[in-house]
Structures are given as structure tokens and as C-alpha cells.
């Protein structure tokens, strides 16, 4: 889709000539950059001719890809205004920046909060609909490296005469921060029990826009500011996790980047590590095992001597997940052993962060089972899955459903078709009670693995039971 400008885009034509790029060459470069981001673009030399001679403005991410393509040839950044596309939709870049300056970091985060809600109210899915499939693991490189170099800002105190959108000054205190922390606690409980797509979980972006954004734009001391940035980082990471769980990978990526920047402003290194671990899990889930390893190790590196034993255990577990997805059995086994060792050293009185309340030996066993599933070791999968399922709980319903699917896969790979179908039926029942695209994807994977046994009565029954789940709108 394109919209028309007034007259030719002489700026774009001039820069193309300067860079020595033909119309066909630019089209090819833009299509290639789009493919790297999961986009299927079919621009050709005629498309580029329209952009230059008729002033047509391509929609979505295309203007930014054009700038990136020309910038690669020139060896320098090319802003949109230089190529006559300054009026293009800014949405594709929102939330991807990791500013060095604290003030710019506040603007980057609050811009993301506001843009997301505008899309929800319009009933169009916001920018996430137009960016579907645009997750790019390379977008995590700069945030991770900047966080490793400087995990805390020197000062975050802020003075302002007026609050955003109001004539009255907004002075932020610890009571304001406490409300955000309580909202984060509530959201974590709802997310675990009902999935990221539950209507109560969807209130997190609303909370970020209505509650967190005005506070971030208010006045606060360095002490209050650190706490405010920490609470906002927790909520922003939660928004990312819920987006990840509902299949909105591009939204999750942007929330995670902003959460990491806010954690740096909070000088909360363990929380920053937790955000990096979340990034790692997303990268691993998307099939980028090597990048998942890098992100998990970034979380570990800065937390040596700072994080509690249980926190370090979780970071090593996430690293193991990434090694397993990358197919490195030895590294995955070593990371799992280290994770278990850290967990054994943890004690009830340790000062563990509240956001780690979900992590116990059950979770360790569940993720270990998934590691061995990726490494195609069904006996180990069965062993750890039995431990993971030994204490079912209503508090972590989604996790229980995922474990059941992993158990079904292990039974199938061990040659136990009836047991696999039995676990599959239980998993479908759990999945039907929550709103989680990730859980549905696990069920789809199980059904795919069962296709060679499609005529078996138990498989037919499972497929029929899963049909309403698979046909439900995303």
C-alpha cells in the first residue's frame, strides 16, 4: 500500500544517485531487509520508480527499510527527512530505541505506551497488526551491549513545572510507586492463572499509559525515581511477556527493550537480568538459539556477586534452554547442572525479588524437560516431566498445560501412543481454560507429531477435542 505525495520525490532520487543504487537494486535491498525481519515484500523497479517520480509513499516498515538500505550503501545512517519520507508512519521504530540519556529514555517508553493504546481503541490492533511478523532478534544487540557497559545511570532525579497534559505540577512519591508495584503483582497472578490474553492481563498496557506514563513525566528525587523506574520496568516487562504469550512477538520485543532501559535507570541489575532472560526465552522460542545464549549470558555476567542464588539459578536455566535449542547438548547439560546447584544453595530467608516468586524446583524440572525435548532425549524428558507434574497447582495453570504437552511428546517419542493421547487430552482441557497462543502452539506441535497415527481412534478423539481450541480467534 502507498499514498501519494505532491509531485516527484526529488530528495529520494538524488540520494539514490549519490549512493549509486538503481531502482531494481533498491527494491532488492528493501525486500531482503524485510525478509530478515520476517516480512514478505515484493517491491520491484517499477515500485521504486513510483516512489521517485510520482512521490508515492510506501506504508508500514518500508520507508525505514529504504533508509536502512541506502544507509548500508553509503556507510552512514540516513534519516527519513533526507530521502523525502519524513511524513511516513513512525510506528515501525517506536520502542526499539535504547537511549543513553535518561530523559530520552522516558520519552521512548511513554511514546510506546501511548501508541499501543491508540491502536487498541481504534479496534485495529494498533501498530502490532501492521508490524505482524517483524520481530528481528538483531534489535536486541544494542540494548544488551549498552546495558552490559553501563547497567545504571548516574542520576535520575527529574524536575518539571507541569505534569504532562495538566496544568498542575505532579510530584511523585513512594505511595505512587507502591501502586504500580501492586498492579504488577496482581498482573503476574492473573497472567499465570489465565494466560497473557485474559482481559485482566490486557489492563497492563492501560496501566502503563494512564498510571506509569504521567509519573515518569513528573517530578521526583533520585531515590523515588529509582523506585519508579524499577516498578515501571516490571510492568513493562510484564506487558512484553503477555504479548509474547499471545503471539505478538513484535510488541513483546519493544516492551522488553524499554523494560531493560527502565531497569538500567532503576540501577536494578537483577531486574535488568530478568528482562534479558525474557528476551532470551523469546529468541529461543523463535528459533534463535545462539542469540538466546548471548542474551542469557549477558544476564549472568552482570549479576555475578549481586543476584541471589535462586535468581542465578533461573538465569542458568534460561541459558540451558537456549543451548538446547541451538543443539549443544554438552553446554545445555552443564548449564542445567549449574542451575540445579544454584537452586540447591538457595535458602528460604534469601532476599529474592518478588518477580521471581514463580520459580521453584517444579519450574526447573519443567524447563529441563523442554531442554531434553529439544535434544531428542525422551527418557530424560519423561523423568523431569514427572517431577514437574508431581505438584499440580491452580496458581500456574498455563505452566501446567505446557508441561502436559511436553509429557505427551515424551510418551509419543517413547512409543507410548495411548499415554501420549491421554496427556494430550488433559493438556487440551487446560488450554481451553486460558488465553495463551503459546499453549495453543504447543498443542498444534503435538498434533503435528501425531499425524503418522492419524487413523488411530485415540488420535482422532484428541484431534476432535482440540478443534474448538484451534479454531478460536487469536
Please provide residue 119's backbone torsions phi and psi, each rounded to the nearest 5 degrees. -70, -40
Decide: 237 and 255 in contact? Cβ < 8 Å. yes
Decide: 92 and 29 in contact? Cβ < 8 Å. no
Specify the pLDDT at position 472.
65
CATH class of 2-93: mainly alpha
Specify the pLDDT at position 36.
63
Decide: 128 and 119 in contact? Cβ < 8 Å. yes
Specify the pLDDT at position 63.
84
Specify the pLDDT at position 440.
87
Please compute Rg for the chain using Cα positions.
24
For residue 62, give Cα distances in angstroms to 2, 26, 41, 48, 55: 10, 11, 9, 11, 14
* Segment holding 133, helix H or strand E: none
Residues in the chain where the model's pLDDT stays below 70:
1-6, 36-39, 88-92, 116-134, 161-169, 193-202, 392-395, 472-474
Cα 118 to Cα 127: distance, rounded to the nearest angstrom = 9
Specify the pLDDT at position 121.
38
Specify the pLDDT at position 99.
94
Specify the pLDDT at position 162.
55
DSSP secondary structure, 401-459, as one string: HHHHHHHHHHHHHTT-HHHHHHHHHHHHHHHTTS--HHHHHHHHHHHHHTGGGTTSHHH
Q: Identify the sign of the CA torsion 318, 323, 327, 331.
A: negative
Specify the pLDDT at position 168.
58
Cα 294 to Cα 354: distance, rounded to the nearest angstrom = 25
User: Would you list the domain boundaries of the chain?
Assistant: 2-93, 95-127+142-267, 360-474
Instruction: Answer whether 2-93 and 360-474 agree in fold.
Output: no
Cα 114 to Cα 156: distance, rounded to the nearest angstrom = 22
Please provide residue 306's backbone torsions phi and psi, each rounded to the nearest 5 degrees. -110, -50
**Any idea which fold 360-474 has?**
1.25.40
What is residue 3's three-state secondary structure? Answer: strand
CA 236 to chain centroid, in Å, comes to 10
Taking alpha carbons only, the member of 293, 273, 362 closest to residue 334 is 293
Sequence-distant (6+) residues with CB within 8 A of 387 are 361, 362, 365
DSSP secondary structure, 143-194, as one string: HHHHHHH-SS-S---B--SS-TTSSS--B--HHHHHHHHHHHHHHHHHHHHH
Specify the pLDDT at position 40.
75
Amino acid at each position: 500500500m502507498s499514498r501519494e505525495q505532491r509531485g516527484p520525490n526529488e530528495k529520494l532520487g538524488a540520494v539514490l544517485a549519490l549512493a549509486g543504487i538503481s531502482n531494481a537494486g533498491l527494491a532488492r535491498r528493501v525486500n531482503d531487509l524485510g525478509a530478515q525481519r520476517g516480512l514478505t515484500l515484493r517491491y520491484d523497479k517499477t515500485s521504486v520508480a513510483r516512489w521517485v517520480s510520482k512521490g508515492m509513499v510506501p506504508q508500514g516498515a518500508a520507508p525505514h527499510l529504504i533508509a536502512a538500505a541506502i544507509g548500508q550503501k553509503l556507510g552512514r545512517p540516513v534519516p527519513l527527512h533526507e530521502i523525502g519520507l519524513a511524513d511516513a508512519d513512525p510506528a515501525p521504530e517506536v520502542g526499539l530505541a535504547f537511549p543513553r540519556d535518561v530523559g530520552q529514555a522516558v520519552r521512548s517508553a511513554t511514546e510506546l505506551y501511548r501508541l499501543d493504546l491508540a491502536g487498541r481503541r481504534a479496534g485495529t490492533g494498533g501498530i502490532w497488526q501492521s508490524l505482524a511478523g517483524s520481530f528481528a532478534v538483531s534489535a536486541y544487540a544494542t540494548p544488551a551491549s549498552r546495558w552490559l557497559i553501563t547497567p545504571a545511570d548516574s542520576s535520575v532525579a527529574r524536575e518539571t513545572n507541569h505534569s504532562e497534559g495538566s496544568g498542575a505540577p505532579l510530584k511523585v512519591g513512594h505511595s505512587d510507586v507502591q501502586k504500580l508495584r501492586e498492579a504488577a503483582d496482581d498482573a503476574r497472578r492473573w497472567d499465570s492463572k489465565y494466560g497473557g490474553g485474559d482481559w485482566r492481563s490486557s489492563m497492563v498496557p492501560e496501566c502503563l499509559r494512564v498510571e506509569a506514563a504521567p509519573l515518569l513525566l513528573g517530578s521526583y528525587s533520585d531515590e523515588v525515581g529509582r523506585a519508579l523506574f524499577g516498578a515501571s520496568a516490571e510492568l513493562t516487562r510484564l506487558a512484553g511477556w503477555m504479548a509474547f504469550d499471545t503471539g505478538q512477538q513484535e510488541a513483546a520485543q519493544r516492551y522488553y527493550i524499554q523494560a531493560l532501559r527502565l531497569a538500567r535507570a532503576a540501577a536494578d541489575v537483577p531486574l535488568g537480568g530478568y528482562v534479558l532472560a525474557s528476551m532470551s526465552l523469546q529468541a529461543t522460542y523463535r528459533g534463535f538459539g545462539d542469540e538466546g545464549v548471548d542474551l542469557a549470558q549477558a544476564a549472568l555476567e552482570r549479576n555475578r556477586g549481586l543476584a541471589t542464588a535462586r535468581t542465578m539459578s533461573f538465569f542458568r536455566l534460561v541459558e540451558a534452554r537456549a543451548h538446547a535449542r541451538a543443539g549443544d547438548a554438552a553446554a545445555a547439560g552443564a548449564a542445567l547442572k549449574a542451575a540445579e546447584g544454584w537452586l540447591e544453595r538457595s535458602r528460604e530467608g534469601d532476599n529474592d525479588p518478588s518477580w521471581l516468586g514463580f520459580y521453584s524446583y517444579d519450574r526447573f524440572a519443567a524447563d529441563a524437560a523442554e531442554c531434553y525435548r529439544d535434544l531428542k532425549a525422551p527418557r530424560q524428558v519423561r523423568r523431569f516431566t514427572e517431577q514437574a507434574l508431581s505438584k499440580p497447582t491452580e496458581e500456574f495453570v498455563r505452566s501446567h498445560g505446557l508441561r502436559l504437552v511436553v509429557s505427551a511428546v515424551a510418551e509419543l517419542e517413547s512409543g507410548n501412543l495411548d499415554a501420549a493421547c491421554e496427556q494430550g487430552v488433559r493438556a487440551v482441557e487446560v488450554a481451553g481454560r486460558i488465553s495463551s497462543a503459546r499453549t495453543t502452539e504447543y498443542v498444534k506441535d503435538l498434533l503435528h507429531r501425531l499425524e503418522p497415527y492419524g487413523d488411530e481412534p485415540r488420535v482422532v478423539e484428541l484431534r476432535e477435542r482440540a478443534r474448538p481450541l484451534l479454531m478460536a480467534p487469536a
